[in-house]
Amino acid sequence: MIKTILVGLDGSEHARTACRYAIWLAEKLEATVVGLHVVDIVSIEGSFFHDISGSLGFEPYLDFSSKMREVLHERGKAILEEFRNRATQAGIRHDTILTMGIVPNEIAEAAKTADLVAIGHRGVNEKFVTGLLGSTAENVTRRSPKPVLVCTLQFKEIQNPLLAYDGSQRAAAAMHSAAEFCTVLHLPLTVLTVNRDEAAGNKILQEASTYLKAYPIEVKLELQQTGNAPERIANYLREHRHDLLFIGAYGHSRIIELVLGSTTEYVLRNASCPVFLHR
């Protein structure tokens, strides 16, 4: 089960909500939370500053870079201090990491020694992001070697989780996480599959039912035969007020995903609640 939760902190409100979810889960699971802040090397050594110094005809770039590095490190320390105060107040075990590099890469590297990564849906630069999912979050979900909890802006204690299950291997891994999670937190679990073929859909649900019988949890099975799968999942979350979605990183058709965009990506961009993404 989850014993170490890594949470990415950048000072944004989305990251603060991810921190709240991480601390809440740590209390329930008796886990340790590790707060990670990455000083973005692109902010210090990106081409933008090279271009500025060159166009103005001066050479104080190295000094400017050094001062920028110092300022960003101090900001990172303040963000981690805020995290430590929250974790201490909640009475949970915690640790902090302050590092520098390319943000998604550093989060993915630190994730190797965690059981779950919690990140905000959007980051500190959300005003400059054109999509509904921040670029850092999108990159972390693609690169993380461990499950990722992508948190929405508003915090809500989890009471009504949903598992999107299509019978794939990664969906089965997500089902295992959902079963363990619901067992420890004493929560019910709704299993949703979207399949226009009623017989095939019921077979998938029966697989899930058979697996979940080993767990002492209340299970509800739901088959949706109409609509596009990713849209149906996102709509079902809102219609039934689910507050957590478990989903595998990919469904069956990788070719379709490459051309049209994956079910996972669509759901991440449009989900009304946090998404527990199993790699």
Domain residue ranges in the chain: 4-151, 161-278
Whether the predicted pLDDT of 77 surpasses 50: yes
Confidence band for 63, pLDDT divided at 50, 70 and 90: low
DSSP for 165-189? --S-HHHHHHHHHHHHHHHHHT--E
- Give mean pLDDT, residues 140-163: 95
| Interval 212-254: pLDDT, tens | 999 999 999 999 998 889 999 999 999 999 999 999 975 444 4
Q: Which CATH architecture has domain 4-151?
A: 3-Layer(aba) Sandwich (3.40)
CATH, domain 161-278, list 3.40.50.620, 3.40.50.80, 3.40.50.300, 1.10.3720.10: 3.40.50.620
Whether the predicted pLDDT of 93 surpasses 70: yes
- In one-letter notation, the amino acid at residue 264 is T
Buried b (16+ CB within 10 A) or exposed e, 51-69: eebeeeeeeeeeeeeeeeb
